[in-house]
Every structure is written in C-alpha cells, then in structure tokens.
Structure 1
C-alpha cells in the first residue's frame, strides 16, 4: 500500500468534483474546490475520521468494500478505479461482466461512416450499436429484442433466426466459439457469460464440439458475403477495430470501390431498411 500516493490521488479526485454533480448544493462558504471530506465519506458510506486519515496517509489498508464506495463517490473511471486498487495494495478482481455501454465518440464514428456498414459487438457477440447501412444490409436491429441481437445464438441455436444471410456461417461459427472461450476466462464470475455458454452447449452439438477443442486463437475473417433478400449477394471486406478499454469491437464492412457490391451498398444506403418488395 502506497499511503502517500493514495492520499494524493484521493485528494485530487475529490477536488475535481463539482458538488452539483453529485446532487449537493454548492453553497457560499466553500474555501476549496470540489467536495468536502465529510461529503466524500458520506457518499462512500464510511466515517469522516477514516477518510480524513486516508488523505493524511495515516489509515490502515482499506477493504475492497471501502474502495468500491470511494470509486463510486469520487466518480472514478474504470482506469482510475484499477489505479485506486493498486495504490491500496488490493489489485481489483475480474470485472463482473462484459461492458455494454458504448462511448458517445464511437456512436458518433458509426454515423460518420455513410459508405460502410458498421456494428459494435460486446465480448459476448451481442450487437450493441450499429449504423443505418448495417441495419439495411443485415437487419433492423432496433426492431429486435436484446436476445435476438446475439450473433452466437443466431449462429448455433436451431430455434433462432439465421445469422443475417452470411454465406460462410461455418467460418464465423468457429471463430466466434473460440473467442467466447477467451471471454469466459476474462469474466469467470459473470452470470451472463455462464448462462450463454450453458445455453449454447445444451442447444448445439456443433458448438459443443468446437467448445471441447479448448481453442482460443481465432483466425480473422477478412471477407464476407451477405445474401440480401432483395439485392442478392454482396461481397464485403471485414475489418475489426478493438475498443480495448470497453472490451468491445467495431466491425466495419466495406465493398471494393467500383464493384457491383459497392453499388449494392450505395443502393442500400438510399433505401435503408424499407422493404422494396412491398407495394407502397
């Protein structure tokens, strides 16, 4: 436990918080920026005396429960929370489950890719964000319940809808199963991950066979072909950008310039998700 560094870190995080951000009145008698020590203690559900000793580098090592309370009270980011634990000599345990919240900058980036279909996948292969061209190419995700936006269920379970017209489902299935095993190791205490694996093992012999291999190295799928119900086959390049701090991936589908598939994507960007085969 690095008491001096911990004290300085807590003080700096306390001083950066505007009282209004945590629902406290600013008042007129505050002589220093940020929150008072007693306010942090109250928000973290610990005594003011103990918190004061932490900032004075005189307190014993805080428990994980206290550290969790401090991280919440001081509105720490994930990186800052991990840093807090290391300063306190109590490295954090594994995260409770794969993050699903997508950063606003990533959502903005999706909208800035008008000629590319792009989706964001969680570590369990749930589609958690997408742009309009991706919905036109694959499916209107906004009309689906969360369960039906999981690519692993769509690939392996017989009672699920097919996986969005992929022409090479076996290649994707193998890669996804291997990546899910690595996900399970990163989130050993996640009920969501455990339930998904149990469901896939019970419902799919193919998944059970791939799972039994214990492989975790997945070969990237660089090209895919989608069979659109109205336009036909659309061949796309597939590039994956890791969003490391959220354990998420952005998958970007683009067509070779000047190709029939590029023209098909251009057409889809115009018509969107509307059904062209239904009379108006």
Structure 2
C-alpha cells in the first residue's frame, strides 16, 4: 500500500507517471525526461528512490541507470534466489561435487557430493560459509589445498577483481576487515593488490582420509541470478572419482 490520494478509475493497472514522481520525490517533468532517455542530472540517491518506488529487479535497475547516463551499479547476488530449479540441477549433478556461489565466495547451496568433500564449509555459520574464509582461517579442513600458496594467491586476486565492483558496499568492506583480522595470510595477499579473472582450472587437495585427489573446476554464470555461478568439480582420473563416491557412501 502507498499513501496516494484517490483518483479516477484506471484503464490499466499500475502507478501513473505523476504518482511515481510523487512517491520518488521528483518532478513530473524530470521523471518524464528520464523515461524518454533525455540527458538529465540524476544523483544515485534519486535513482535509488525511483528504483524502490517501481520495485525494480537488479536488471531493471541497471537499465534505469543507463537511461540516466550514470555508471552502472554492480549487480549483486541475492541469497534468497536459489530456486527449486537450481536446487534440482545441483542434485542431479551428484556424484560431481557442485555448489552455487556468489562473487564474494559465499556458498549459497550445494549437493551431497560437495557437502561430503567440504563438510566444514557447509557446516559453517552464515558469514563464514565462504570458500575464501575457510581456506584462509580453517587449517583443519578435511580437504586442504595441495598447492596452497599458488591457489590461495589466485583466489585472493580473483576476489579483489570482484571487490572492485563492490568497494562501496559495507558488507564487502566488513568481510575484508574481518578476514584481514582473522588471517595474516589473507592480509598479506590482499596488500599485494593482485587481480585475476575466473576461468577453468585444475586443483588438487590433500584429504585426511583419502590422500591427494584432483578436480577440474568449471563455473557457469547464471543469467537469472546476477553474480551467482554454478561451480562444478569434475574428478581428474578414476582414483579421484572413486574417492568422491566413497565419501558420499560414508555419509
């Protein structure tokens, strides 16, 4: 419900142009020019007010910023957007370990194989259910990186690339502060300011019960959930594949 005076009967549903302008606290002429894509001077605060009034989703919000000639805001992943369809895809990927993660490395959802391979990650409290956090802070994980120096350095460089799109986000700032305080190793790598892009790569892990196991890591961006990706661990060789199946059977 919105606080608007009664008006004549509507021929089409939704807010009138005048009502949008009133609720967003802008002039009708200014809002009309915005709709028409005319050059106007629009602050991010005003654009945010219009976006809230119209209840725009992230993609529509980006379009609004483009209309106003403003730099596009970073699209963020919404944890609540793990749909039943995404959940089914994860489940059907078993026995390939797979998860849904956002650009901050938060693990949003996972399948049975992933949970068996990384039980510490999936059991971590919200805010620490994060691959970068656990890799830096938790030295007693069941599966630790075999080439820790190289892989962790790359992970921090990829994270910095994502951080550049969210540097004014208090949530991201707080994550970096907390992780820097918890991990001197992360703080050292963060200070190097290296930047890297994501891409397919091989990783080997030392498992406390199974020895060394290897995976090809492949990720796919999800168009329906901005900055959310499906990450799949494909075993390198039959020994690694058998190791995953053993972990799943062992519960």
Question: When the two structures are superposed, what TM-score results if normalisation uses the length of structure 2?
Answer: 0.75
2: CA distance, partners of 1:56 / 1:124: 36
1:265 maps onto 2:244 in alignment: yes
Given candidates 132, 143, 153, the residue that maps to 1:165 is 143
1:84-103 aligned at under 5 Å gives the runs: 84-92=64-72, 94-95=73-74, 98-101=76-79, 102-103=81-82
Q: Structure 1 residues 260, 42: CA separation in 2 closer, same or farther (over 3 Å shift)?
A: same
Given candidates 95, 110, 119, the residue that maps to 1:115 is 95
2: CA distance, partners of 1:71 / 1:255: 44
Runs of 5+ unmatched residues, structure 1: 1-19, 275-280
1:242 maps onto 2:221 in alignment: yes
1:197 maps onto 2:176 in alignment: yes
1:214 maps onto 2:190 in alignment: no
SS at 2:61 equivalent: helix
How far did 1:69 drift? 2.3
1: CA distance, partners of 2:70 / 2:231: 36
How far did 1:216 drift? 1.0
Count of matched residue pairs: 242
SS at 1:222 equivalent: strand
**CA shift digits 1:126-155 (9 cap, x unpaired):** 222211211112116554211331222222
8 Å Cα contact 1:120/1:251 also seen in 2: yes
SS at 1:246 equivalent: coil
1:1-280 aligned at under 5 Å gives the runs: 29-37=9-17, 39-41=19-21, 43-46=23-26, 61-92=41-72, 94-95=73-74, 98-101=76-79, 102-104=81-83, 105-139=85-119, 141=121, 143-157=123-137, 160=138, 162-168=140-146, 169-217=148-196, 221-227=201-207, 229=209, 231-243=210-222, 246-256=226-236, 259-271=238-250, 274=251
Greater CA deviation, 34-43 or 185-194? 34-43
8 Å Cα contact 1:98/1:124 also seen in 2: no
2: CA distance, partners of 1:236 / 1:34: 51
Superposition RMSD in Å: 3.7
8 Å Cα contact 1:127/1:149 also seen in 2: yes
8 Å Cα contact 1:241/1:249 also seen in 2: yes
